[in-house]
Amino acid sequence: MSHLQHRPFGTHGKVHDITPASAGWRYVGFGLYRLRAGERVFESTGSNEVILVMVEGKAKISGAGRDWGELGERMNVFEKTAPHCLYLPNGSEWSAEATTECTIAVCAAPGKGGHAARRIGPHGITLTQRGDGSNTRHINNIAMENEDYCDRLLVTEVFTPAGNWSSYPSHRHDEDDFPRVTYLEETYYHRLNPADGFGLQRVYTDDRQLDETMAVHDHDVVCVPRGHHPCGAPHGIEMYYLNVMAGPLRKWRFVAAPPVAHLM
């Protein structure tokens, strides 16, 4: 299995715990909890800002000295409704008590303390189409650069219909050369419908010094340190992924792979 691909630690509890140190980069962290009703978790954001994404199910959440009540609405991610999320600045403590079976993603990057804790969604998040034909996918933007309530984090959900491609035409964001391109590390948290299906993700550089093609399964995470990173959903299998990006500048600027740049 590729060193970029991370399988979950079982099916219960904290099943992913990716840090900059473990990923071999500087900015992005990603954790994932799969909880049963009544279970509780506690964490401190430390030097990171964090966005908690209620991928599925419901939980009562407290954080940054406030009780945020019960967050979550969709019980299956493929309902494609807008997620309930919570932004927490660095130096915060948070806890969650599952009120149903739930999946909570913890999206992290170094914080600057420039923003207050706040709820994100479901209001204000609208499922929008990107691409056309077999390149059609649907996006829930949680915190992209036009939402100015994060220091570094860029977070979005993508639903790719069965048989389609996504994160395509192939593109990269691995140089700090704004406005041409920005350096952004990225994680992909994958879900599949049906859950026993598979999808494909390739991560490669133009010179092929990095060239990995992975069969991704439900709850896998793929780390993209550099290079292009398209995804494919086979016929009969829907693909979801939660993207987390961060770098020195909170701007998403990318360069297309030369052979497919004319498709942009």
Instruction: Give the integer Cα–Cα distance in Å for 36 and 5.
Output: 26
If DSSP codes are grouped into helix, strand and coil, which group holds residue 142?
strand
What pLDDT score does 147 carry? 86
**Cβ atoms < 10 Å from Cβ of 250:** 19
CATH of residue 228: 2.60.120.10
pLDDT in tens, 199-224: 999 999 999 999 999 999 999 999 99
Strands 154-160, 238-246: pairing is antiparallel
Structural domain containing residue 78: 5-263
Number of domains composing the chain: 1
- Residue 263's pLDDT band (boundaries 50, 70, 90)? confident
pLDDT in tens, 68-110: 999 999 999 999 999 999 999 999 999 999 999 999 999 999 9
pTM of the model: 0.97
pLDDT in tens, 27-83: 999 999 999 999 999 999 999 999 999 999 999 999 999 999 999 999 999 999 999
